DNA sequence: CGATATTATTCGTTATAACGACAAATGTCA
DNA sequence: TGACATTTGTCGTTATAACGAATAATATCG
C-alpha cells in the first residue's frame, strides 16, 4: 500500500501522528518486501500463503492438525482446508486421518514439498539479502527489535 | 542441499539470517497492524484497499485518472477499474470523462465519501495509538527511519 | 445413555489480484 | 488524409483469500 498523504496534493491534510507515520512506513515496506518474495515464489507457482504453510510443515515433520496450522497462521479453518486442498492436489502435502482421534487430520509435507522448499531456500535468501542486506546486521537487529517491541513482545 | 540445522526429526528452527529475521518480524507486525485497521474499517464495510483509494482521492480533490491512482497504489489498471466500480456503486466516488482528453476518466471523491472518511479518522487514529502508542515518539521515529532506510529512502 | 463440544469439512459469497483481449480516443508520421 | 501505435479504460477469466453458515464425524462429560 502506498500512501496518499506524503505527496503534495492540493488538499491540506492533517499532520500524521508518529504512530500513523510508522504504521504507513511499515505497510509500505512490508508490501514491497512481500512483492519481492512473491516474485521469487512465482518461479514455483507458489503463493506466499502456500509457501508459509509449507515452511510451517517443514518445521513439524511429525505432522500438524488443521487447527494447529491455523494457529501458526492467521486464516481460519474453512480456508485452511481449501488451501491444503490445493497443496495436496499438487502432492506437496499429504493428509491422513489419525487413529487416535478420528476427528483430526494430520497434514505432513511430502518429499516433493521438501524438495520444492529446498529449491526455493537459496533464491529466497538471496532476495532477502538483496532487499535488506544494505542495512547491515546492526541495523537489521535494531529493526527486528523495534518491531517485536511494537507487537509488545519484549523491550 | 545444505541444511544448517537439520537435526534429524526435530528441524524445529533453522538459523535465520538477520535479513530473514527482520523480514519475518516485518511481515508479522504489518499483518497484525493491518488486521487492527481492517477491524476499524469493517464498521463502514470498507476494505483496506478501498480505504486507501479514498484517502488518495481526498488528497487530490481535483480528481485523478485511473492511471494516476494506480501509480499511488500497486495494483494495475484493470483491477483499479473494478475497485472503483464498487466504490462508485456506493456513491463514494464519481467518475466523469474529461472533455480535453476523452480517453481519460477523472475520478473524484464525493461528499459521501468524504463524510465516510471523516467518520473513520478518529477511530483510525485511536487504533494507531492503541497499537503503537506504547512505543513513544522517539522509538516510533526511529522505527520509521529504519523502515525508510530499508526501502532505500534516506531520511 | 444422551447432550454438548470439537474438528474438519462443505457450500456460498465477496474482494483481491494477475493475465489476456479489446475498444475508444488520441497522437504521430508518411 | 490515412495507416499505425499509444494510452486509457473496460471486460472476461482464473486463482487466491477471507468471512459466514451449516453439516458430519467424533469425542467428552453429566
> How confident is the model over B76-99, as pLDDT tens digits?
777 899 999 999 999 999 999 888
CB A104 under 7 Å to nucleic chain C: yes
Q: A93-97 and A105-109 as β-strands: parallel, antiparallel, unpaired?
A: antiparallel
For the cut 80, the answer to whether the pLDDT of residue B5 exceeds it is no
B150 with A132: Cβ contact below 8 A:
yes
- Closest C-alpha to B21, from A100, A85, A125, A4: A125
Three cell numbers, residue A127: 532476495
Contacts of B13 in chain A (CB under 8 A): 59
Query: Are B48 and A41 within 8 A, CB to CB?
Result: no
Q: What is the mean pLDDT of chain A?
A: 87
Query: Are B128 and A23 within 8 A, CB to CB?
Result: yes
In this prediction, residue A6 has a pLDDT band, given cuts at 50, 70 and 90, of: very low
Residue lying closest to nucleotide C16, CA to C1': B79
In this prediction, residue B6 has a pLDDT band, given cuts at 50, 70 and 90, of: very low
CB B77 under 7 Å to nucleic chain D: yes
Give pLDDT, residue A40.
Answer: 93
Give pLDDT, residue A9.
Answer: 37
Looking at strand D, which nucleotides approach a protein CB closer than 7 A? 7-12, 15-22, 25-28
> What one-character DSSP code corresponds to residue A14?
P
Encode pLDDT of A44-99 as tens digits: 999 999 999 999 999 999 999 999 999 888 788 889 999 999 999 999 999 999 88
Encode pLDDT of B110-141 as tens digits: 999 999 999 999 999 999 999 999 999 999 99
Bigger pLDDT: A90 vs A15? A90
CB count within 10 Å of CB B141 equals 14
In this prediction, residue B72 has a pLDDT band, given cuts at 50, 70 and 90, of: confident
* SS3 state at B93: strand
For the cut 60, the answer to whether the pLDDT of residue B9 exceeds it is no
**Could you tell me how many residues make up chain B?**
155
Give pLDDT, residue A10.
Answer: 37
Mean local confidence (pLDDT), B64-76:
84
For the cut 50, the answer to whether the pLDDT of residue A143 exceeds it is yes
For the cut 70, the answer to whether the pLDDT of residue B3 exceeds it is no
Under 8 Å CB-to-CB from B35, ≥6 apart: which residues?
Answer: A74
Q: Identify the sign of the CA torsion B78, B81, B83, B89.
A: negative
| Alpha carbon distance B31, A33 (integer Å) | 13
Mean local confidence (pLDDT), B146-151:
95
CB count within 10 Å of CB B120 equals 20
Contacts of B17 in chain A (CB under 8 A): 125, 128-129
Strand D interface, B 126-145, C-beta < 7 A: none
Mean local confidence (pLDDT), A39-48:
92
CB A105 under 7 Å to nucleic chain C: yes
B140-B146-B147 Cα angle (round to 5): 90
B141 with A11: Cβ contact below 8 A:
no
Strand C interface, A 37-96, C-beta < 7 A: 38, 65-68, 77-78, 80-82, 84-85, 95
Mean local confidence (pLDDT), B1-30:
65
* SS3 state at B95: strand
Partner residue facing B19 (CB), from A5, A14, A128: A128
CA dihedral in degrees (A82, B24, A94, A75; nearest 10)?
A: -20
- Chain A 68-87, residues with CB within 8 Å of chain B CB atoms: 74
Q: What is the mean pLDDT of chain B?
A: 86
Domains and CATH numbers, chain A: 44-150 (1.10.10.10)
3-class SS shares of chain A: helix, strand, coil, % to 5: 60, 5, 30
Mean local confidence (pLDDT), B18-33:
92
For the cut 90, the answer to whether the pLDDT of residue A26 exceeds it is yes
Selected residue of A49, A59, A144, A151 to mutate for chain B interface (largest B Cβ count, 10 A): A144
Three cell numbers, residue B151: 526501502
| Alpha carbon distance B46, B31 (integer Å) | 17
Amino acid at each position: 500500500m502506498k500512501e496518499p498523504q506524503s505527496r503534495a496534493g492540493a488538499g491540506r491534510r492533517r499532520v500524521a501522528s508518529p504512530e500513523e507515520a510508522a504504521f504507513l512506513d511499515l505497510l509500505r515496506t512490508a508490501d514491497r518486501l512481500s512483492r519481492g518474495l512473491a516474485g521469487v515464489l512465482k518461479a514455483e507457482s507458489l503463493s506466499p500463503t502456500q509457501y508459509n504453510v509449507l515452511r510451517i510443515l517443514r518445521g513439524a515433520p511429525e505432522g500438524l492438525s488443521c487447527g494447529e496450522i491455523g494457529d501458526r497462521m492467521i486464516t481460519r479453518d474453512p480456508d485452511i482446508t481449501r488451501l491444503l486442498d490445493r497443496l495436496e492436489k499438487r502432492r506437496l502435502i499429504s493428509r491422513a486421518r489419525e487413529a487416535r482421534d478420528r476427528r483430526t487430520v494430520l497434514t505432513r509435507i511430502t518429499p516433493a514439498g521438501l524438495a520444492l522448499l529446498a529449491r526455493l531456500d537459496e533464491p529466497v535468501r538471496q532476495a532477502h539479502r538483496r532487499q535488506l542486506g544494505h542495512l547491515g546486521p546492526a541495523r537489521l537487529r535494531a529493526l527486528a527489535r523495534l518491531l517485536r517491541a511494537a507487537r509488545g513482545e519484549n523491550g
